[in-house]
Structure 1
Amino acid sequence: MMYDANPRSGAPFAGLQANAGMLFMIGAMLLLPVGDTFAKLLSETLSPVGVTMCRVLAQAAFLVPVAYLLRHRLKGAMFSPIIAVSGLLLIISLTSLISAFAAMPIATAIAIFFVEPLILTVLAGVLLGETAGPRRLIAVGVGLIGAMIVIRPGFSDYGWATALPLISAFAYALNMVVLKVATVTRSGLTVQCGSTVYASLGLVVLAVVWGKMGGMDLVPQWGDTTTMFYIIGAGGAAAISFVMIAEAYRSADATALAPFQYLEIIMATALGFLIFGDFPDMLTWVGIAIILGSGIYVFHREGRSDTAAPRRKRASR
């Protein structure tokens, strides 16, 4: 950190950094659903496993030059058992969410996925011993009620597929706990790169097994330029989103950035309507509002408590 000769300049500089962080987060939250949209388009011709594999491989291809340019931020062991666990959880989370995109509107899947901060609050208490107060636990319960309204077991048009975003959210929240432990001795960029490599290798193996079992196509047909464009778009959006999120957390406090994460649902709804003609019904909007309100309350309590759940530094999905 550079020495500031003028002490009074510190506050304005910190303010500019925070504003930059918020802009990075806004950009990332608007870009993430673009990658999800490409993934949904890919699911029309490739299996969810194939989509996930192509997306992660494309993401890795984009991350390699980024990691080289930011190599001074690499710290600690990139390949170890705990990073491998992170890679496995990334596979589960992404495959489940992409499978959900194939079965339902993107906005609905993401709305259900957004119970993740609430699940993280519970897991942090169980696995990390980070105590959550009764108000926060009540907010978790209310948020899960909102998720049930969106899912509407037994009444939803999407059947058991509505459980897929919940599986994705649980795996993602568990991965956040793993990352919290891993980043004690490693930088976030190191963990992200290592996790992406492990996920890429695991998905290639899974794809081979899936193909031998007679699953859907795993890779695009030779000369299918449209599908290749979708793959590049999905991987590029994911990689750029990660870099922007990482820069956001370097520049601003997590609690200041948290509310901007909900822009993702707005963008997902807009893209789902414009490209696929999907629009959530009124009951789904009620559930979304409950989930968002509960999540914002949890982040609000986190900002006021020293015993907060681990702050959510999201790896790109």
Structure 2
Amino acid sequence: MSKTTAASRDMARGDNPMLGIALMLAFCMVIPFGDALLKLLGQSVPVMTLLIARYVMQVLLLGPVMLWQKRGIAHIVRLPSQIWWRLFWRTVMHIAGISGMYFGLQHLPLADTTAIAFIFPILMLFASHFFLKEFVGPHRITAAIVGFIGTLLVVQPNFVEVGANVLWPIGTACTFVVFILVTRQMSRGIDAVSIQVVSGVMALIMLLIPVLLLNGESFAFFDLGWPSAIEWWMLIGSGVFGTVGHLLMTSAISYAPSATLAPMQYLEIPFATFIGWLVFSDFPNQLAAIGIAVTIASGLYMIYREQRAQNISGQGTD
């Protein structure tokens, strides 16, 4: 397959890959702030309280935007059944992913948890190839592998020390692969804001039913707690960062192929490392600094390759 053919195929699947990359970069900058608040809240706020607050904020923030843009909910009512099923599974994976990060951050530093979860881009590349039939060339695979090596240098995760707790971010990575695949498949049938609003309402229904039935019935996962004043502010902040971050990510997926965006997400590691140092005093050592440079280089290389692919496609030459 020629480079021109590959680029044309990607452009057919993504309207504007460079815009998608820019939105994903913004996601990588925003989401670590939400994760830092998640780690702080995990010390005292039950996971179910956090999840409900998260989705309430999502609906309150984006519901009015959707109603204003679409002038009502008629477009939601008209959605085909396949979109509804994908919205359902996307919501399930989102709840599972946030829960995995919540428990992982209770046992691991912010940068370590983020880095271990970044087995995701490699899984995403192969999933994009086999399930979405997106072209995954050697440059993208190489960028993902180099980015993952840089990730390991940043935090040097010691799997022997963390033991079974390493499964939390790994589980998050697996749920995020399904989350991205489902989002990509329905991104042309429903806009990003509506996805967030409908998913938020679905999540609240899924969470509130077991809470009403099982809260206080010896099922700790479904117990609620009343946050303090400062915890309320952190919950609001977590909801804002999470909502904005995932809106950026959902929009990015609608513009660019998943295989293009996967290596870009390694750029979340340097931001998470910086915030981990700023909030939790986890200062990276010299090897970690090298890893940050490698990770950034991997993401920048993918931007260069995507820009070059667009130029080749536009010129019609190799």
TM-score when normalising by structure 1? 0.71
Query: Pick from 112, 116, 128: which aligns with 1:124?
Result: 128
Q: How far has the Cα of 1:178 moved from its partner?
A: 0.7
Query: Pick from 214, 221, 229: which aligns with 1:225?
Result: 229
Give distance in 2, aligned partners of 1:283 and 1:73: 53
Q: How far has the Cα of 1:111 moved from its partner?
A: 2.5
Give distance in 2, aligned partners of 1:32 and 1:242: 8
User: 2:43: which partner in 1?
Assistant: 44
Asked if the contact 1:51/1:218 (under 8 Å) is kept, the reply is: no
Give distance in 2, aligned partners of 1:211 and 1:301: 54
Asked if the contact 1:54/1:231 (under 8 Å) is kept, the reply is: yes
71-80 vs 271-280, which moves further: 71-80
User: 1:32: which partner in 2?
Assistant: 31
Q: How far has the Cα of 1:146 moved from its partner?
A: 5.5
201-210 vs 61-70, which moves further: 201-210
Distance 1:253 1:131, change over 3 A: closer
Give distance in 2, aligned partners of 1:202 and 1:283: 44
RMSD over aligned CA atoms reads 3.9
Secondary structure of the residue that 2:220 maps to in structure 1?
coil
240-249 vs 32-41, which moves further: 240-249
Asked if the contact 2:183/2:250 (under 8 Å) is kept, the reply is: no
Corresponding position: 1:187 with 2:191: yes
Q: How far has the Cα of 1:83 moved from its partner?
A: 0.9
Distance 1:292 1:213, change over 3 A: farther
Give distance in 1, aligned partners of 2:159 and 2:249: 37
Give distance in 2, aligned partners of 1:241 and 1:301: 25
Distance 1:121 1:218, change over 3 A: same
Give distance in 1, aligned partners of 2:306 and 2:196: 24
Distance 1:225 1:218, change over 3 A: farther
Give distance in 2, aligned partners of 1:298 and 1:236: 29
Q: How far has the Cα of 1:294 moved from its partner?
A: 5.0
Asked if the contact 1:56/1:235 (under 8 Å) is kept, the reply is: yes
Distance 1:144 1:194, change over 3 A: same
Give distance in 2, aligned partners of 1:164 and 1:264: 18
Distance 1:143 1:258, change over 3 A: closer
Give distance in 2, aligned partners of 1:183 and 1:235: 22
Give distance in 1, aligned partners of 2:260 and 2:226: 45
Distance 1:219 1:292, change over 3 A: farther
Structure (1 or 2) with the greater helix fraction: 2
Asked if the contact 2:104/2:168 (under 8 Å) is kept, the reply is: yes
Distance 1:132 1:274, change over 3 A: closer
TM-score when normalising by structure 2? 0.70
User: 1:174: which partner in 2?
Assistant: 178
Corresponding position: 1:92 with 2:91: no
Secondary structure of the residue that 2:190 maps to in structure 1?
coil
Distance 1:253 1:140, change over 3 A: closer
User: 2:79: which partner in 1?
Assistant: 77
Give CA deviations for 1:192-250 in whole Å, capped at 9, x if unaligned: 2222222222233455647533426843427x212211111111222233455667789
Distance 1:48 1:303, change over 3 A: farther
Q: How far has the Cα of 1:34 moved from its partner?
A: 2.1
Give distance in 1, aligned partners of 2:216 and 2:286: 40
Q: How far has the Cα of 1:147 moved from its partner?
A: 5.7
Asked if the contact 1:113/1:166 (under 8 Å) is kept, the reply is: yes
Give distance in 1, aligned partners of 2:39 and 2:139: 37
User: 2:59: which partner in 1?
Assistant: 60
Q: Which aligned pairs between 1:232-247 and structure 2 lie closer than 5 A?
A: 232-243=236-247
Secondary structure of the residue that 1:80 maps to in structure 2?
helix
Consecutive unaligned residues in structure 2, runs of 5 or more = 1-17, 311-318
Asked if the contact 1:32/1:241 (under 8 Å) is kept, the reply is: yes
Secondary structure of the residue that 1:87 maps to in structure 2?
helix
Q: How far has the Cα of 1:188 moved from its partner?
A: 2.4
Give distance in 1, aligned partners of 2:235 and 2:114: 20
241-250 vs 27-36, which moves further: 241-250
What is the aligned residue count?
284
Corresponding position: 1:212 with 2:214: no
- Residue identity opposite 1:90 in structure 2: H
Q: How far has the Cα of 1:136 moved from its partner?
A: 3.6
Give distance in 1, aligned partners of 2:107 and 2:39: 9
Give distance in 1, aligned partners of 2:234 and 2:141: 40
Taking only the aligned residue pairs, the percentage that are identical comes to 25
Q: How far has the Cα of 1:90 moved from its partner?
A: 0.7
Secondary structure of the residue that 1:186 maps to in structure 2?
coil
